[in-house]
């Protein structure tokens, strides 16, 4: 089934849990602070088209820090301790607003994605007897909502949440009928919550006044060894997915649900990300220049978040777990980072310097009749 809205409410939840397997040892690097209670602050971060942009800093009682921009709802930085309690940023991003706004080939670092995450073939779909045409921003397809997707909009902050266990904020965006070719007026609320258990909870909710399609996600890039530390190929990944959706040369799913067993896409047991990327015998790997594929989660979607992915980085011993209510997850190994972008660390991002795990309904599902 497709992600369809018809004058109704849709909701989705993703939970990102970051931790470190603590070991012995000493270091001269700054240690993670441990505030007595969670806190949230804000500061100006420039402006876009005359609209002010703010950066919100969420800190939990364990010292984990998450920085979120109102521009694109972007998770700009995530600071977590390693095995020796050293604090490092593990999310890829830019240091300035101008870098996000002027990036010619946007990698969507940390951004909220909509109306429709991932690719729609030839930028066209039919719904309710009408054919809709979307911007072709990833030729020959439409990607992540078009040229001006939700990642390029300044969201409103409608609520600040604070308790003894967590802090958060609610972002709101209104997308009018016809926005980037999509039908229906759409109102979107996204709640970011940081808990004392080092969880980043992302709760998506949307309503519409007409039949439409929607697929909301977040495009955070991760490097658990630290931003700017190099390639993520030694990170060990496990996915709760026995199947994936093979793609054509334009990265549109063929419509086949294929088993991962015996292929480079088998992450049902812990496997280093780079182990099979250089497998030139796999046409699927060649199409994506690595991994840029949707995995079919064994849960099939759930009313409550279910574990979809586990990642472990052996040097820092940081771990990342992703839980979701969605039926799919897009695993992207940073294949199109090409050394032209400078990150918050001041270093160039090269191919494989970060990975993304985007919880979602399947790419091109408005045309395929699959999830």
Could you list the active site residues?
A: 219, 358
Q: DSSP of 212-264, one letter per residue?
A: EE-B-EE--EE-TT-TTS---TT-EEEES-SEEE-B-TTS-B-S--EE-TTST
Residue 55: in which H helix or E strand, if any? strand 51-59
Q: For 323, which DSSP code?
A: E
Task: Decide: 47 and 343 in contact? Cβ < 8 Å.
Answer: no
**Distance between CA 94 and CA 63 in Å, rounded?**
22
Count CA within 13 A, CB hemisphere, residue 219: 27
d(CA 332, CA 127): 29
**How far apart (Å, rounded) are the C-alpha atoms in residues 263 and 276?**
9
Round to the nearest angstrom and report the end-to-end CA distance of the chain. Answer: 4
Peptide bond preceding 7 in cis form (omega within 30 of 0): no
State how far the Cα of 155 lies from the Cα of 317, in Å rounded to an integer.
Answer: 35
Cis previous bond, 140, omega within 30: yes
Q: Look up residue 221 and give its two tokens.
A: 């890039």
Q: Coil, helix or strand for 125?
A: strand
Whole-number CA gyration radius for the chain: 20
In sequence order, the β-bridge partners of residue 77 are 67
Contact, 107 vs 353, CB < 8 A? no
Distance CA 334, CA 343 (A): 14
Q: Is beta strand 355-360 parallel, antiparallel or unpaired with respect to 211-213?
A: unpaired
Burial class (CB in 10 A: 0-12, 13-18, 19+), 133: exposed
């Amino acid at each position: 089934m497709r992600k369809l809205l018809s004058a109704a409410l849709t909701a989705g939840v993703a939970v990102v849990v970051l931790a470190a397997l603590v070991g012995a040892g000493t270091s001269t690097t700054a240690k993670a602070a441990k505030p007595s209670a969670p806190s949230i602050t804000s500061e100006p971060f420039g402006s876009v088209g005359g609209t002010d942009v703010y950066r919100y800093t969420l800190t939990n009682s364990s010292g984990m820090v998450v920085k979120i921009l109102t521009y694109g709802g972007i998770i700009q930085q995530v600071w977590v301790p390693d095995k020796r309690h050293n604090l490092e940023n593990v999310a890829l991003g830019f240091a300035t607003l101008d870098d996000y706004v002027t990036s010619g080939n946007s990698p969507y670092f940390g951004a909220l994605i909509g109306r429709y995450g991932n690719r729609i073939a030839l930028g066209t779909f039919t719904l309710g007897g009408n054919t809709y045409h979307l911007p072709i921003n990833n030729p020959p397809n439409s990607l992540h909502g078009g040229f001006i997707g939700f990642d390029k909009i300044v969201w409103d902050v409608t609520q600040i949440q604070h308790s003894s266990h967590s802090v958060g904020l609610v972002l709101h965006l209104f997308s009018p009928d016809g926005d980037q070719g999509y039908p229906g007026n759409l109102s979107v609320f996204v709640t970011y919550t940081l808990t004392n258990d080092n969880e980043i909870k992302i709760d998506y909710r949307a309503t519409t006044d007409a039949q439409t399609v929607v697929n909301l996600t977040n495009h955070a890039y991760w490097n658990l060894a630290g931003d700017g530390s190099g390639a993520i190929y030694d990170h060990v990944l496990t996915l709760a997915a026995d199947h994936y959706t093979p793609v054509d040369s334009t990265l549109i799913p063929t419509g086949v649900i294929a088993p991962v067993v015996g292929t480079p896409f088998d992450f049902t047991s812990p496997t280093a990300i780079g182990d099979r990327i250089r497998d030139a015998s796999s046409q699927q790997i060649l199409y994506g220049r690595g991994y840029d594929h949707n995995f079919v989660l064994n849960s099939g979607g759930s009313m409550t978040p279910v574990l979809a992915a586990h990642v472990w980085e052996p040097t820092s011993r940081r771990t990342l777990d992703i839980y979701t209510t969605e039926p799919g997850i897009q695993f992207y190994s940073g294949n199109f980072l090409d050394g032209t972008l400078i990150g918050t660390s001041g270093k160039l991002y090269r191919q494989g310097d970060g990975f993304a795990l985007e919880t979602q309904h399947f790419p091109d599902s408005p045309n395929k009749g699959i999830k």
